[in-house]
Amino acid sequence: MTAIRLYNTRSRSKEGFTPFDPLDVRLYVCGPTVYDRAHLGNARPVVVFDTLFRLLRHVYGDGHVRYVRNFTDVDDKINATALARHEAGAKGTLEELIHQRTEETIGWYHADMDALGALRPTFEPRATEYIGAMIAMIQGLVDKGHAYEVEGHVLFDVRSYPDYGRLSGRSVDDMIAGARVEVAPYKRDAMDFVLWKPSDASLPGWESPWGRGRPGWHIECSAMSFELLGASFDIHGGGIDLQFPHHENEIAQSCCAHPGSDFARVWMHNEMLLVEGKKMSKSLGNFFTVRELLEQGYPGEVIRFVMLSTHYRKPMDWTAEKAREAEAVLRHWRSLTAGAEPLGPDVEVVDALADDLNGAGAMARLHALAKAIASNPQKDCFYEKGVLLASAQLLGLLEPGMGDWAEGVDLAPLATKLTALREAAMASKDFAPVDALKAALIEAGVEVRMSKAGVELVPGPGFDAAKLGALL
């Protein structure tokens, strides 16, 4: 069996991966808050952990991996949108408008992530479906003396958990010293965080032992991972910005609620996405959505390729140049594997991925496999093509159904015309008409390939079918 090694944030080192149960490997990844379209930064963990999911399925078997990615559908930004719609005269109660907003956002999220070739996780729980489990967990923390109620809030007492700060390598005292936020006066300790907060009539709320209210942000992941994966599971993933406070708080809650359990054994964090060298973030306002990129003509497969070509633990700069290169490579690989059937993936590709998801290493191997096929045009390379195809598909690339962008339109009539003009020109020695048509085709983004064997037209980067109409 392939030996998987993963970098564990908790130990700050690469460790050999051994699941609790190889017949039931369990992975939890923090999903989106569904208040708006996913931006490109949101897509990075999706692609990274989708690749991990694919690797785990390859190694342990498709039916032996449980992957949970939540939807956070309790959030003040969602409430704000619903309230704005309500005030603008939208039909329905506030609750219905909230539900409408989260439903439409989840629909967008699915469409956008599908476009990136991400498999749907085994479970996609919504926070609102687990309120009861959260209340039960909070009550347990209160009973054990890890949480306290004050002014309608329930707060986690960080001093009751000695390991608080271990994941992110900081101590409670250091954090207080550097704190930049105003501390609510009712907190026992500045770092105590909210498990439950009161809701007034204008906000969604649920009845609880502490009155009508709603959960804090962190408790949902603890409750849902417990319900769906158990008190101890294998891998917990998310963006590095979640390491503190979100994941630190999850650990505190879960370990205190379920003493003796491991919670997540391996913690994996992807680095941030940069645009123009700056972190893409809401506060900087420099983010753009996956949908915008797709609509600009960047295929999902191209976006995925770019993401996988930088290691997940390094910042990745999104550039148009990388997308251009990715598109060219994918076109090449697609043409090499056209008509091939996927066989087993190449062992070196698997090994590269198994080494802490070394996407760039896997890509290098794919290039080598492609070169072996391309440099043997006299052979049919049935086996090699099948291996290349299966290997790329392990990365979520060259999947059938993802390649519509590379299919293009029917260029055969233009090829026929160009062939006729060329044959006439060969006789007359006047190549001007041929060159004119060729130039027009190139202008429309078509690659013009002429050889002794004939003429071949292939859509290239920047292909624009609209410019072809007048050429026939």
Partner RNA sequence: GGUGGGUUGGCGGAGAGGUUACGCACCGGAUUGCAAAUCCGUGAAGACCGGUUCGAUUCCGGUACCCACCUCCA
The residues in 275-294 that bind RNA, with binding defined as CB under 7 A, are 277-283, 287
Q: Give the nearest distance from C-beta 364 to RNA in angstroms.
A: 3
Strands 213-215 and 193-198: antiparallel
Q: Binding segment for RNA among 86-94, 313-321, 385-393, 394-402 (CB under 7 A)?
A: 313-321
Within 10 angstroms of residue 284's Cβ, the number of other Cβ atoms is: 10
From candidates 4, 19, 45, 233, binder to RNA by CB under 7 A: 45
Q: How far is the CB of 139 from RNA (least distance, A)?
A: 24
Q: Are 159 and 250 in contact (CB under 8 A)?
A: no
Smallest gap, in angstroms, from Cβ of residue 448 to RNA?
4
Residue 245 in the binding site for RNA (CB under 7 A): yes
- Distance of closest approach, residue 237 Cβ to RNA, in angstroms: 8
Residue with token string 């719609």: 85
Nearest to 299 by CA among 446, 442, 391, 397: 397
154-193 binders of RNA (CB under 7 A): 168-170, 174-175, 177-181
CB 363 to RNA: min, Å: 6
Question: Per CB under 7 A, which region of 42-50, 141-149, 220-228, 408-416 contacts RNA?
Answer: 42-50
HSE-CB at 387 with a 13 A cutoff on CA atoms is 18
Backbone dihedral angles phi then psi of residue 29, each to the nearest 5 degrees: -130, 135
Rule CB under 7 A: choose which of 12, 62, 285, 427 binds RNA. 12
In DSSP notation, 444-461 reads TTEEEEEETTEEEEEE-T
Judged by beta carbon, residue 93 or residue 416, the one nearer RNA is 416
**Stretch binding RNA (CB under 7 A), from 17-25, 130-138, 235-243, 388-396:** 235-243
d(CA 69, CA 81): 24
Least distance (Å) between residue 146 CB and RNA: 20
- Residues between 432 and 451 with contacts to RNA, criterion CB under 7 A: 434-435, 438, 447-451
378 binds RNA (CB under 7 A): no
Per 3-state DSSP, the chain is made up of helix, strand and coil in percentages (nearest 5) of 45, 15, 35
Nearer to RNA, 23 or 179 (CB): 179
Per CB under 7 A, contacts with RNA among 331-370 are: 332, 355-356, 358, 360-361, 363-364, 367-368, 370
Q: Which pairing describes strands 5-8 and 13-16: parallel, antiparallel, or unpaired?
A: antiparallel
Angle in degrees, CA 88, 94, 100, rounded to 5: 85
Size of the site for RNA (CB under 7 A): 80
Angle, vertex CA 88, rays to CA 86 and CA 90, nearest 5: 50
Among positions 110-139, residues that touch RNA (CB under 7 A) are none
